[in-house]
Amino acid sequence: MSTELNNNEMEIFEIISHSGNARSLAFEALSEAEEFNFEKADELVKQVQEELNLAHKTQTKLIQAELNGVPSEKTLLMIHAQDHLMTALSEQKLIEHMIRIIKKLSPQQ
């Protein structure tokens, strides 16, 4: 590995960590919604968005650095981080939709 290439391991682990946190919180929100605990589910959904915002902020930092001429080494770890983020974003949208459906079917309506 060239020393001129930017070593982005900390940023990569931040993306993985925040994305993983988001996924866990999203599934926790879904579980709360299944129990009709919508206030808690909504609170968790907000936390999901906060975690994804942090992951996306780090991703944007890496992209901007590359656009400014500071290349990043493309590693399996970097690809893994991107996969985590994209999966978390996809699951977030799906789980939010599922929660809306559960709310509509709730006997508390």
Q: What is the DSSP track for 73-97?
A: ---HHHHHHHHHHHHHHHHHHHHHH
C-alpha dihedral, 79 to 82 to 84 to 86, nearest 10°: -140
The reply to whether 56 belongs to the active site is: no
Q: How many angstroms separate the CA atoms of 107 and 109, rounded?
A: 5
User: Is 42 known to sit in a ligand binding site?
Assistant: no
Q: How many angstroms separate the CA atoms of 5 and 56, rounded?
A: 22
Q: How many angstroms separate the CA atoms of 106 and 99, rounded?
A: 10
- Residue in 18, 56, 80, 84 annotated catalytic: 80
Active site residues: 80
Task: Show binding-site residues for Mg(2+).
Answer: 83
Task: Show binding-site residues.
Answer: 83
